[in-house]
Amino acid sequence: MSVAVENPQTPAFVLVRPQMGENIGASARAMWNFGLDRMRVVAPRDGWPNQAAVALASGAGRLLDEAQISADLAGSLADCTFVFATTARPRDLTKPVFSPEEAMRETRRMIGEGQRVAVLFGPERAGLENDDIARANAIISVPVNPDFPSLNLAQCVLLVGYEWMRASTDVQHKTTEMAGTVWADHNEIEHLAGHYEERLEEMGFFFPAHKSDSMRLNLRNFWSRMPLTRADVQMMHGILRQVARWARRKDGDGS
Protein backbone atom coordinates (compact mmCIF):
# COMPACT_ATOMS: atom_id res chain seq x y z
CA MET A 1 0.00 0.00 0.00
CA SER A 2 1.51 3.36 -0.97
CA VAL A 3 1.27 6.42 1.24
CA ALA A 4 0.00 9.88 0.51
CA VAL A 5 2.52 12.61 -0.25
CA GLU A 6 2.78 15.04 2.63
CA ASN A 7 5.13 17.60 4.16
CA PRO A 8 5.25 16.62 7.84
CA GLN A 9 6.99 18.50 10.62
CA THR A 10 8.14 15.29 12.33
CA PRO A 11 9.92 12.17 11.06
CA ALA A 12 7.99 9.00 10.28
CA PHE A 13 8.96 6.00 12.42
CA VAL A 14 8.77 2.84 10.31
CA LEU A 15 8.50 -0.52 12.10
CA VAL A 16 9.75 -3.11 9.63
CA ARG A 17 8.18 -6.59 9.96
CA PRO A 18 7.49 -6.32 13.71
CA GLN A 19 6.83 -9.71 15.26
CA MET A 20 4.81 -8.89 18.37
CA GLY A 21 1.79 -6.65 18.69
CA GLU A 22 2.87 -5.75 22.21
CA ASN A 23 6.04 -4.15 20.86
CA ILE A 24 4.07 -2.18 18.29
CA GLY A 25 1.82 -0.83 21.02
CA ALA A 26 4.74 -0.01 23.30
CA SER A 27 6.45 1.75 20.38
CA ALA A 28 3.33 3.86 19.79
CA ARG A 29 3.35 4.86 23.44
CA ALA A 30 7.06 5.73 23.27
CA MET A 31 6.52 7.82 20.14
CA TRP A 32 3.65 9.78 21.64
CA ASN A 33 5.72 10.49 24.77
CA PHE A 34 7.86 12.70 22.53
CA GLY A 35 5.22 14.18 20.24
CA LEU A 36 5.76 11.76 17.35
CA ASP A 37 2.57 10.45 15.76
CA ARG A 38 3.58 9.30 12.26
CA MET A 39 3.82 5.53 12.61
CA ARG A 40 4.26 3.23 9.63
CA VAL A 41 4.18 -0.55 9.91
CA VAL A 42 5.60 -2.87 7.27
CA ALA A 43 4.23 -6.43 7.02
CA PRO A 44 3.40 -7.05 10.71
CA ARG A 45 3.80 -10.77 11.39
CA ASP A 46 0.51 -11.17 13.26
CA GLY A 47 -1.61 -9.09 10.89
CA TRP A 48 -3.48 -5.85 11.39
CA PRO A 49 -5.33 -4.55 13.35
CA ASN A 50 -3.72 -6.14 16.38
CA GLN A 51 -5.43 -6.20 19.78
CA ALA A 52 -2.17 -6.86 21.63
CA ALA A 53 -0.82 -3.60 20.18
CA VAL A 54 -3.92 -1.73 21.34
CA ALA A 55 -3.56 -3.08 24.87
CA LEU A 56 0.05 -1.89 25.18
CA ALA A 57 -0.45 1.51 23.51
CA SER A 58 -1.98 2.84 26.76
CA GLY A 59 -3.34 6.20 25.63
CA ALA A 60 -1.54 6.32 22.29
CA GLY A 61 -4.14 4.28 20.42
CA ARG A 62 -4.67 7.08 17.91
CA LEU A 63 -1.23 6.33 16.46
CA LEU A 64 -2.33 2.76 15.78
CA ASP A 65 -5.60 3.92 14.25
CA GLU A 66 -3.75 6.28 11.91
CA ALA A 67 -0.72 4.05 11.24
CA GLN A 68 0.08 3.52 7.58
CA ILE A 69 0.33 -0.20 6.87
CA SER A 70 2.41 -1.41 3.93
CA ALA A 71 3.10 -4.84 2.52
CA ASP A 72 6.72 -3.98 1.75
CA LEU A 73 9.36 -1.44 2.70
CA ALA A 74 9.46 0.23 -0.70
CA GLY A 75 5.78 1.13 -0.38
CA SER A 76 6.27 2.55 3.10
CA LEU A 77 9.12 4.81 1.96
CA ALA A 78 7.58 5.95 -1.33
CA ASP A 79 7.19 9.62 -0.29
CA CYS A 80 10.41 9.96 1.77
CA THR A 81 13.39 12.01 0.69
CA PHE A 82 15.83 10.81 3.39
CA VAL A 83 15.84 7.57 5.38
CA PHE A 84 17.80 6.54 8.49
CA ALA A 85 18.16 2.86 9.47
CA THR A 86 18.80 1.91 13.09
CA THR A 87 21.27 -0.91 13.72
CA ALA A 88 23.77 -1.89 16.38
CA ARG A 89 25.87 -4.16 14.13
CA PRO A 90 28.32 -3.32 11.32
CA ARG A 91 26.81 -4.33 7.98
CA ASP A 92 29.68 -3.99 5.49
CA LEU A 93 27.76 -1.27 3.71
CA THR A 94 29.37 2.09 2.94
CA LYS A 95 27.06 4.64 4.54
CA PRO A 96 27.37 7.61 6.88
CA VAL A 97 26.81 6.56 10.49
CA PHE A 98 25.18 8.93 12.99
CA SER A 99 24.68 8.83 16.72
CA PRO A 100 20.97 9.14 17.66
CA GLU A 101 21.63 12.68 18.89
CA GLU A 102 23.30 13.87 15.70
CA ALA A 103 20.80 12.02 13.49
CA MET A 104 17.88 13.85 15.07
CA ARG A 105 19.66 17.20 14.80
CA GLU A 106 20.15 16.49 11.11
CA THR A 107 16.52 15.39 10.84
CA ARG A 108 15.35 18.67 12.30
CA ARG A 109 17.48 20.57 9.79
CA MET A 110 16.21 18.55 6.82
CA ILE A 111 12.58 18.82 7.85
CA GLY A 112 13.07 22.58 8.18
CA GLU A 113 14.14 22.56 4.53
CA GLY A 114 10.97 20.73 3.51
CA GLN A 115 12.37 17.20 3.31
CA ARG A 116 10.42 14.14 4.43
CA VAL A 117 12.45 11.96 6.79
CA ALA A 118 11.84 8.40 7.98
CA VAL A 119 13.60 6.22 10.57
CA LEU A 120 13.59 2.44 10.17
CA PHE A 121 13.39 0.04 13.11
CA GLY A 122 13.90 -3.67 12.52
CA PRO A 123 12.06 -6.75 13.76
CA GLU A 124 12.71 -7.97 17.26
CA ARG A 125 14.58 -11.19 16.48
CA ALA A 126 17.49 -9.94 14.41
CA GLY A 127 16.89 -6.31 13.45
CA LEU A 128 16.97 -4.91 9.95
CA GLU A 129 18.31 -7.01 7.12
CA ASN A 130 21.01 -5.71 4.78
CA ASP A 131 18.41 -5.35 2.03
CA ASP A 132 16.45 -2.98 4.30
CA ILE A 133 19.53 -0.97 5.22
CA ALA A 134 20.57 -0.72 1.58
CA ARG A 135 17.42 1.37 1.00
CA ALA A 136 18.44 3.87 3.70
CA ASN A 137 20.59 6.96 3.15
CA ALA A 138 22.35 6.71 6.51
CA ILE A 139 22.62 4.61 9.64
CA ILE A 140 21.82 5.44 13.25
CA SER A 141 24.08 3.43 15.53
CA VAL A 142 23.28 3.38 19.24
CA PRO A 143 26.36 3.11 21.49
CA VAL A 144 25.58 0.01 23.55
CA ASN A 145 27.44 -2.74 25.37
CA PRO A 146 29.24 -4.66 22.57
CA ASP A 147 28.70 -7.90 24.51
CA PHE A 148 24.93 -7.28 24.55
CA PRO A 149 23.98 -4.94 21.69
CA SER A 150 20.35 -6.00 21.25
CA LEU A 151 17.74 -3.37 22.10
CA ASN A 152 14.05 -4.06 22.46
CA LEU A 153 12.09 -2.47 19.59
CA ALA A 154 10.18 -0.06 21.81
CA GLN A 155 13.36 0.84 23.72
CA CYS A 156 15.06 1.85 20.49
CA VAL A 157 12.01 3.87 19.43
CA LEU A 158 12.01 5.58 22.83
CA LEU A 159 15.70 6.42 22.63
CA VAL A 160 15.48 7.98 19.16
CA GLY A 161 12.23 9.74 20.07
CA TYR A 162 13.91 11.30 23.09
CA GLU A 163 16.71 12.63 20.92
CA TRP A 164 14.12 14.08 18.52
CA MET A 165 12.50 15.93 21.41
CA ARG A 166 15.88 17.27 22.52
CA ALA A 167 16.71 18.42 19.00
CA SER A 168 13.33 19.98 18.23
CA THR A 169 12.48 21.78 21.46
CA ASP A 170 14.24 23.96 23.99
CA VAL A 171 14.91 21.47 26.76
CA GLN A 172 15.47 22.82 30.27
CA HIS A 173 18.46 20.81 31.42
CA LYS A 174 18.08 21.92 35.01
CA THR A 175 15.32 23.68 36.89
CA THR A 176 14.05 24.00 40.46
CA GLU A 177 10.46 23.51 41.60
CA MET A 178 9.83 26.47 43.90
CA ALA A 179 6.81 24.97 45.75
CA GLY A 180 4.96 28.26 46.17
CA THR A 181 7.91 30.41 47.20
CA VAL A 182 10.59 32.55 45.52
CA TRP A 183 14.32 32.93 45.92
CA ALA A 184 15.33 35.18 48.80
CA ASP A 185 16.84 38.48 47.72
CA HIS A 186 20.09 39.98 49.01
CA ASN A 187 18.36 42.20 51.54
CA GLU A 188 16.54 39.23 53.11
CA ILE A 189 19.78 37.25 53.36
CA GLU A 190 21.54 40.26 54.87
CA HIS A 191 18.83 40.62 57.51
CA LEU A 192 19.01 36.91 58.34
CA ALA A 193 22.81 37.06 58.70
CA GLY A 194 22.50 40.09 60.99
CA HIS A 195 19.87 38.36 63.12
CA TYR A 196 22.12 35.33 63.67
CA GLU A 197 25.19 37.43 64.39
CA GLU A 198 23.27 39.43 66.97
CA ARG A 199 21.93 36.36 68.80
CA LEU A 200 25.21 34.46 68.59
CA GLU A 201 26.97 37.50 70.04
CA GLU A 202 24.57 37.41 72.99
CA MET A 203 25.31 33.71 73.47
CA GLY A 204 29.08 34.28 73.53
CA PHE A 205 29.64 32.31 70.32
CA PHE A 206 32.32 34.63 68.87
CA PHE A 207 35.12 33.50 71.17
CA PRO A 208 38.00 34.01 71.57
CA ALA A 209 37.97 37.66 70.63
CA HIS A 210 40.93 37.51 68.24
CA LYS A 211 38.98 34.98 66.09
CA SER A 212 35.73 36.92 66.10
CA ASP A 213 36.26 38.69 62.76
CA SER A 214 37.15 35.50 60.86
CA MET A 215 34.21 33.67 62.45
CA ARG A 216 31.81 36.42 61.33
CA LEU A 217 33.31 36.38 57.85
CA ASN A 218 32.89 32.61 57.57
CA LEU A 219 29.30 32.88 58.78
CA ARG A 220 28.49 35.54 56.16
CA ASN A 221 30.12 33.39 53.50
CA PHE A 222 28.06 30.43 54.69
CA TRP A 223 24.80 32.29 54.09
CA SER A 224 25.87 33.53 50.66
CA ARG A 225 26.81 30.02 49.48
CA MET A 226 23.42 28.62 50.41
CA PRO A 227 20.59 28.91 47.82
CA LEU A 228 17.85 30.10 50.16
CA THR A 229 14.20 30.73 49.34
CA ARG A 230 12.06 33.29 51.14
CA ALA A 231 10.37 30.41 52.99
CA ASP A 232 13.79 29.14 54.08
CA VAL A 233 14.73 32.56 55.44
CA GLN A 234 11.48 32.84 57.37
CA MET A 235 12.01 29.36 58.84
CA MET A 236 15.58 30.19 59.90
CA HIS A 237 14.40 33.37 61.62
CA GLY A 238 11.69 31.32 63.35
CA ILE A 239 14.17 28.70 64.53
CA LEU A 240 16.39 31.36 66.11
CA ARG A 241 13.45 33.11 67.80
CA GLN A 242 12.27 29.80 69.25
CA VAL A 243 15.77 29.00 70.52
CA ALA A 244 15.87 32.41 72.21
CA ARG A 245 12.45 31.89 73.82
CA TRP A 246 13.46 28.45 75.03
CA ALA A 247 16.68 29.85 76.53
CA ARG A 248 14.76 32.57 78.39
CA ARG A 249 12.28 30.05 79.81
CA LYS A 250 15.13 27.77 80.85
CA ASP A 251 16.87 30.66 82.64
CA GLY A 252 13.59 31.61 84.32
CA ASP A 253 13.24 28.07 85.70
CA GLY A 254 16.70 28.36 87.18
CA SER A 255 17.76 25.11 85.53
d(CA 178, CA 227) in angstroms, rounded, equals 12
| Mean pLDDT of the chain, nearest integer | 90
Q: How confident is the model at residue 3 (pLDDT cuts 50, 70, 90)?
A: very low
Mean pLDDT of the 54-83 span = 93
The pair phi, psi for residue 41, each rounded to 5°, is: -125, 125
Residue 254 pLDDT:
58
Mean pLDDT of the 183-200 span = 94
Does 43 have pLDDT greater than 70? yes
Residue 6 pLDDT:
45
Question: Which stretches does DSSP call E strand in the chain?
Answer: 12-16, 39-42, 68-70, 82-86, 97-98, 117-121, 138-140
Q: How confident is the model at residue 147 (pLDDT cuts 50, 70, 90)?
A: confident
Does 249 have pLDDT greater than 70? yes
Residue 90 pLDDT:
66
Does 67 have pLDDT greater than 90? yes
Per the CB < 8 A criterion, the answer to whether 242 and 193 are in contact is no
Q: What's this model's pTM, rounded to 2 decimal places? A: 0.74
d(CA 198, CA 205) in angstroms, rounded, equals 10
Does 2 have pLDDT greater than 50? no
Residue 221 pLDDT:
93
* CA 15, 79, 117, 168 torsion-angle sign: negative
SS3 assignment for 226-243: CCCEHHHHHHHHHHHHHH
Does 132 have pLDDT greater than 70? yes
CA distance to 28, 133, 194, 212, per residue, from 153 (Å): 11, 16, 60, 65
Mean pLDDT of the 114-139 span = 92
pLDDT digits (tens, 9 = 90+) for 120-129: 999 887 789 9
d(CA 118, CA 99) in angstroms, rounded, equals 16
d(CA 209, CA 77) in angstroms, rounded, equals 81
Residue 251 neighbours by CB distance under 10 Å: 9
Q: How confident is the model at residue 172 (pLDDT cuts 50, 70, 90)?
A: confident
Mean pLDDT of the 55-83 span = 93
Q: How confident is the model at residue 1 (pLDDT cuts 50, 70, 90)?
A: very low
* Comparison of pLDDT for 123 and 39, the residue scoring more: 39
